[in-house]
A and B are shown apart, each in its own frame.
Chain A
Amino acid sequence: MTTSALALAEDVRAGRRSAASVVEEHLEAIEAGDGAIGAFRLVTAERARREAAAVDAAVAAGRDPGPLAGVPVALKDNLCTRGVATTCASRILEGWLPPYDATVVRRLRAAGAVAVGKTNLDEFAMGSSTEHSAFGPTRNPRDPSRVPGGSSGGSAAAVAAGFAPLALGSDTGGSIRQPAALCGVVGLKPTYGRVSRYGLVAFASSLDQVGPLAATVADAAAAFEVIAGHDPADSTSVPDPVPSCRGVLDEGVAGLRVGVVAELADGAAPDVAARVAAAAEALAAAGAEVSPASVPAAVHGLSAYYLIAPAEASSNLARYDGVRYGLRVDGPEVTAMYGATRAAGFGPEVKRRIMLGTYALSAGYYDAYYGQAQRVRSLIIADFAAAYERFDLLLGPTSPTTAFPLGERADDPLRMYLSDVCTIPSNLAGHPALSLPYGSGDDGLPVGVQLLGPALAEPVLFRAAAVLEGSGR
Chain B
Amino acid sequence: MTPGTEAGGPAGWEVVVGLEVHCELATATKLFCGCRNAFGDEPNTNVCPVCLGLPGSLPVLNRRAVELAVRLGLALGCEVRRSIFHRKNYFYPDMPKDYQVSQYDEPLNVGGALELPGGGRVRIARAHLEEDTGKTSHAGASGRIHGAQAALVDYNRAGVPLLEIVSEPDIASAAQARAYVNELREVIVSVGASDARMEEGSLRIDANVSVRPAGAPALGTRTEVKNLNSVRSLGRAVEHEAARQAALLTAGDRVVQETRHWDEDAGRTVALRSKEEAYDYRYFPEPDLVPLEPEAGWVAAVEAGLPPLPSARRRALERTPEPGLAADEAAAVVAAGADGLVVAAVAGGVEARVAVARALNEVAGRPGAAGLDPGAFAEVLAMEGAGELTPTQAKSVLARLLEGGGSPREAAAALGYESLGDDAVAAAVEAAAAAHPQEWARYAAGEDRLAGFFVGKVMAATGGRANGRVVTDLLDRRRG
- Would you call A202 an interface residue if the criterion is a C-beta within 8 Å of the partner chain's C-beta atoms? yes
Q: Once bound together, how far apart are the Cα atoms of A326 and B55, in whole Å?
A: 11
Of the candidates B55, B61, B283, B287, the one whose C-beta lies within 8 Å of that of A98 is: B55
In the complex, are the beta carbons of B56 and A98 less than 8 A apart? yes
List the A side residues contacting B153 at CB < 8 Å: 323
List, in ascending order, chain B residues with CB within 8 A of A219's CB: none
Tell me the complex Cα distance, A206–B289, Å. Answer: 10
| B288 surroundings in chain A (CB, below 8 A) | 202, 205, 235-236
Residue in A198, A335, A358 whose beta carbon sits within 8 Å of that of B56 in the complex: A198
- Distance to closest chain B CB from A404 (angstroms): 30
Contact B290 A334 (CB under 8 A): no
Interchain CA distance A312-B53 in the complex, whole Å = 15
Determine the residue in chain B with the shortest Cβ distance to A197. Answer: B58
Contact bitstring A204-224, B, C-beta under 8 A = 1, else 0: 111000000000000000000
Task: State the CA gap A366–B104 with chains docked (Å).
Answer: 14
A86 to B57, CA, bound (A): 13
Q: For the complex formed, measure the closest distance between the CB of A238 and the CB atoms of chain B, giving whole angstroms.
A: 11
Contact at A98–B54, with CB atoms within 8 Å?
A: yes
Chain A 303-338 interface residues, beta-carbon cutoff 8 Å to B = 311-312, 314-315, 318-319, 321, 323-325, 334-335, 338
Which of B49, B87, B97, B289 is within 8 Å of A235, CB to CB?
B289
Main secondary structure of the interface of A (DSSP, over half): loop
- Cβ B56 vs Cβ A206 within 8 A: no
A99 to B50, CA, bound (A): 11
Which residues of B lie under 8 Å from residue A206 when comparing CB positions?
287
**A324 CA / B99 CA spacing, docked (Å):** 15
Option from B55, B282, B284 in Cβ contact (under 8 Å) with A96: B55
Residues of chain A within 8 A (CB-CB) of B56 are: 78-80, 86, 98, 100, 102, 198-202
Please measure, in the bound complex, the distance between the C-alpha atom of A99 and the C-alpha atom of B48, giving whole angstroms: 9
B87: chain A residues at CB < 8 Å are 315
**B93 touching A325, Cβ below 8 Å:** no
Closest to B146 in A: A333
Q: Find chain B residues with CB under 8 A from A335 CB.
A: 91
Taking CB atoms and an 8 Å cut-off, the chain A residues in 321-360 that contact chain B are 321, 323-325, 334-335, 338, 358
Q: What residue in chain A is nearest B136 (Cβ atoms)?
A: A334
Minimal beta-carbon separation of B60 from chain A (angstroms): 5
| Best-surrounded residue of B49, B87, B96, B287 (most CB of chain A within 10 A) | B287
Q: Which chain A residue lies CB-closest to B92?
A: A334
In whole angstroms, what is the CA distance A78 to B56 when docked? 8
Report the nearest B residue to A93, measured CB to CB. B55
Judge if A361 is at the interface, Cβ distance under 8 Å. yes
Interface size class of A (residues with CB under 8 A): 35 or more
Question: In the complex, what distance in Å separates the CA atom of A325 from the CA atom of B283?
Answer: 25
Judge whether B89 is part of the interface by a CB distance below 8 angstroms: yes
- Least distance between B87 CB and chain A CB atoms (Å): 5
Instruction: Please name all residues of chain A whose beta carbon is closer than 8 Å to the beta carbon of B277 when the two chains form the complex.
Output: none
- Interface residue B115 (Cβ < 8 Å from any Cβ of A): no
Asked if A362 meets B282 with Cβ closer than 8 Å, knowing A98-B54, A235-B58, A235-B59, the reply is yes
Give the interface SS of chain B, mostly helix, strand, loop or mixed.
loop
Nearest A residue to B279, CB-CB: A363
Pick from B60, B280, B290: contact of A363, CB below 8 A. Answer: B280
B108 within 8 A of A: no
Quote the shortest CB–CB distance from A92 to chain B (angstroms). 10
Q: Are B58 and A325 in contact (CB under 8 A)?
A: no
Residues of A within 8 A of B287 (CB): 204-206, 236, 312
Q: What's the nearest-Cβ distance from chain A to residue B277, in Å? A: 13
Q: Are A319 and B60 in contact (CB under 8 A)?
A: no
Q: Say whether A198 contacts B58, CB under 8 Å.
A: yes
CB pair A358–B60 under 8 Å, yes or no, is no
- B98: interface (CB < 8 Å): yes
Scan residues 272-293 of chain B and give those whose CB is less than 8 A from a CB of chain A. Answer: 280, 282-284, 287-290
**Complex Cα spacing A280 to B98, Å:** 48
| Binary interface encoding of chain A residues 274-286 relative to chain B, with 1 for a CB under 8 A from any of its CBs, else 0 | 0000000000000
Interface presence of B151 (CB below 8 A) = yes
* Closest B residue to A359 using CB positions: B282
Report the separation of the CA atoms of residues A232 and B99 in the bound assembly, to the nearest whole angstrom: 23
| A321: contacting residue among B57, B98, B283, B289, CB under 8 A | B98
C-alpha spacing A286/B49, complex, angstroms: 50
CB distance from A132 to the nearest CB of B (A): 18
CA distance A78 to B93 in the complex (A): 24
Cβ-defined contact, A236 with B290, below 8 A: yes
Q: Which residues of A contact B455 (CB under 8 A)?
A: none
In the complex the two chains form, what is the Cα distance from A89 to B283 in whole Å? 28
A234 close to B (CB within 8 Å): yes
**A319 in contact with B96 given A80-B55, A88-B55, A98-B54 (CB within 8 Å):** yes
Residues 13-63 (chain B) with a chain A CB within 8 angstroms: 49, 52-61
Q: A120-159 CB contact bits vs B (8 Å, 1 = yes)?
A: 0000000000000000000000000000000000000000
From 174 to 202 in chain A, residues with beta carbon under 8 angstroms from any chain B beta carbon are 197-202
Q: B59 to chain A: which residues have CB within 8 Å?
A: 235
- Nearest residue, chain A, Cβ from B148: A333
What is the CA–CA distance of A363 and B60 in the complex, to the nearest angstrom?
Answer: 28
Find residues 51-109 in chain B having any chain A CB closer than 8 Å to their own CB.
52-61, 87, 89, 91, 93, 96-99
Given that A98-B56, A198-B56, A198-B57 are contacting pairs, would A361 and B91 also be in contact in the complex, using a CB cutoff of 8 Å? no
Report the Cα distance A105→B134, complex, angstroms: 30
Bound form: Cα–Cα A323–B92 in Å: 9
Q: Are A361 and B58 in contact (CB under 8 A)?
A: no
For B49, the chain A residues whose CB sits under 8 A away are 98-100
B58, B96, B98, B99: the one within 8 Å of A234 (CB): B58
Contact B54 A325 (CB under 8 A): yes
Contact pattern, B 170-209, Cβ under 8 Å of A = 1, otherwise 0: 0000000000000000000000000000000000000000
Q: Are B53 and A319 touching (Cβ within 8 A)?
A: yes
A386 touches B (CB below 8 Å): no
**Quick check: B91 and A318 within 8 Å, CB to CB?**
yes
Closest to B55 in A: A201
A233 & B58 in contact (Cβ 8 Å cutoff): yes
> How many whole Å from B285's CB to the nearest CB in chain A?
9
Roughly how many angstroms separate A79 CA and B56 CA in the complex, as a whole number? 8
- Nearest CB on A from B63, distance (A): 12
- Judge whether B55 and A319 touch: CB under 8 Å: yes
Q: A98-B55, A236-B290 are in contact. Are A361 and B98 (CB under 8 A)?
A: no
Cα separation A99 to B57 with both chains bound (whole Å): 11
Verify B282–A358 contact, CB threshold 8 A.
Answer: yes
Closest to B99 in A: A315
Given contacts A323-B153, A334-B93, A366-B284, contact A232 B60 (CB under 8 A): yes
Q: Cβ of A370 < 8 Å from any Cβ of B?
A: yes
- Our pick among B54, B60, B89, B290 for the contact of A315 (Cβ within 8 Å) is B89
Nearest-neighbour CB distance to chain B for A378, whole angstroms, equals 13
Q: Are B280 and A235 in contact (CB under 8 A)?
A: no
Name the CB-closest residue of B to A311: B284
Alpha-carbon distance A46/B96, docked complex (angstroms): 33
**Given the contacts A99-B49, A233-B60, A318 and B89 also touching, CB distance less than 8 Å:** yes
B residues in contact with A334, CB < 8 Å: 93, 151
Q: Which residues of chain B come closer than 8 Å to A321, judged between CB atoms?
A: 91, 93, 98
Hey, what's the 0/1 contact readout for B386-417 against A, CB within 8 Å counting as 1? 00000000000000000000000000000000
The CA of A44 and the CA of B61, in the complex, are separated in Å by 35
Report A217 CB to chain B, min CB distance, Å.
29
Given contacts A315-B284, A361-B284, A366-B284, contact A99 B58 (CB under 8 A): no
Whole-angstrom distance between the alpha carbons of A78 and B55 in the complex?
A: 9
Of B60, B151, B153, most buried by chain A (CB within 10 Å of CB) is B60
Query: Quick one: closest B residue to A358, CB to CB?
Result: B282
Q: Are B284 and A318 neighbours in the complex by a CB distance under 8 Å?
A: no
Sample of 17 further A-B pairs with CB below 8 A, known A235-B289, A319-B96: A88-B55, A93-B55, A99-B54, A236-B287, A311-B284, A314-B282, A315-B99, A319-B53, A319-B98, A321-B91, A324-B96, A335-B91, A358-B282, A363-B280, A363-B282, A366-B282, A370-B284
- A-B CB contact pairs (8 Å), 8 listed: A78-B56, A98-B55, A100-B56, A197-B58, A202-B56, A236-B288, A315-B87, A338-B91
3 smallest beta-carbon distances between A and B, as pairs = A318-B98, A206-B287, A361-B282
